[in-house]
Amino acid sequence: MLDTPTRFIELWKINFPLGSVNEEIINNSINFNVNIQETFGGTELSGGSKVSDEFPTQPDMTQAHVLVKLNPEVEHNIRLAFVFIDESNVYVQGSKNFAIKEKVHPDQVNVDYIRLLRLVLNGRSLGHDPVIVGSCDNPLWDELSTKGFNTSKFESEKGVDSEIVSHIADILYTEKGPGTIILLAGDGDYRPILRRALTKNWTVEICFWNKGNKILLFTFASCSNSIQKEGNPSFLVSKLLKDIDLPEYPSLKTIIISLGPFYKKFTSAYGTANTSEKRCLKINDEHDRVKYDDVIPCYEGLNLFCFWFKYTDNSLRLYVNTFDQWDQWENIKTCMKRKYPQVQEIKKDKYCVLKI
């Protein structure tokens, strides 16, 4: 049942045969622009009317008799997502997860929170500015605040958790109807507020790395009941979760999204690498044209981890993971040449040098 104030709910008396076609119409009435009076021949029940007064005897169960309609403001809220990011959690645990795999130092790792936000929204609209809270220095912090993020920084991780919990509590008690909470964090301190959100009929999505997620506390049953949800992206959806999902409300479930399969879409490394282990594309960029936003789409389009560095003389190095990946190296070169048609390929041996 929606935890929605009655002033936002309309009850309509209808007498509508339940058949395959008509059931589809009713199920699609989530489109709140439907005119119930014209579509169903309905009569709106006044505020003082009781459903029991309208149907003193057991109604015919082959007919639909009551239709609930939400105020358009509430319907709008249901489609909105509210994003909360524990920056320290995401960065620290993330760098541990893939730094070794990609043969980079953890200090070279960067998380692109704008791209991460786009990933977890997956086409949905924001209900308010995304909240990002951290406890470590981040050179991107000032940029995030100019990109629409609500940013806060604390000395300790406990301060971070408390701040995010406060932000979640604010929306639970100020929004007119339930939406979707998207939490990017792994600390167990968030469990109580997430349970409260579920009881108020909010959808809860937890996006985090598989390792280091203290919120979940998977049981064997929850792991064995996990399913792979088809779509774009392919998210892992858990059917049973210990300590979050509520046994007394079996229909309320938490959606778990593993960031692991998608890290190449929002992380990168910046620094130099041992070229005996990685193939390197050299670019002479004397006019300082090439920026991060020019480089990462080439890697992203090829599903490669972006590892690059720009020297003080504006020369660049674009790396791929192993020296044997000739096709990947060639594909990045082709991408950069397509992006900058004026590029000159001036050397071709162990390395390729492009002059832009």
Could you give the CA distance from residue 38 to residue 120 in angstroms, rounded to a whole number?
Answer: 39
Q: Please report the pLDDT score of residue 172 as a whole number.
A: 94
Q: What number is the average pLDDT over the span 195-216?
A: 77
Average pLDDT on 90-114 reads 87
Give the pLDDT of residue 67. 53
* Chain segment 143-163, per-residue pLDDT in tens: 888 899 999 888 777 788 899
Residue 81 pLDDT > 60, yes or no? Answer: yes
pLDDT of 9 reads 62
Decide if pLDDT at 120 tops 90. Answer: yes
Q: Are strands 109-111 and 267-270 parallel, antiparallel or unpaired?
A: antiparallel
β-bridge partners, 306 = 268
Looking at residues 42-71, what average pLDDT do you find? 57
Q: How far apart, in whole angstroms, are the C-alpha atoms of residue 23 and residue 123?
A: 28
- Which residue segments constitute the domains of the chain, with CATH numbers given? 10-70 (no CATH), 77-219+236-264 (3.40.50.1010), 271-346 (3.30.70)
pLDDT band at residue 75 using 50, 70 and 90 as cut-offs = very low
- Kindly tell me if the per-residue pLDDT of 119 is higher than 70: yes
**Residue-averaged pLDDT of the chain:** 73
**Short-list 175, 193, 222, CA closest to 80:** 175
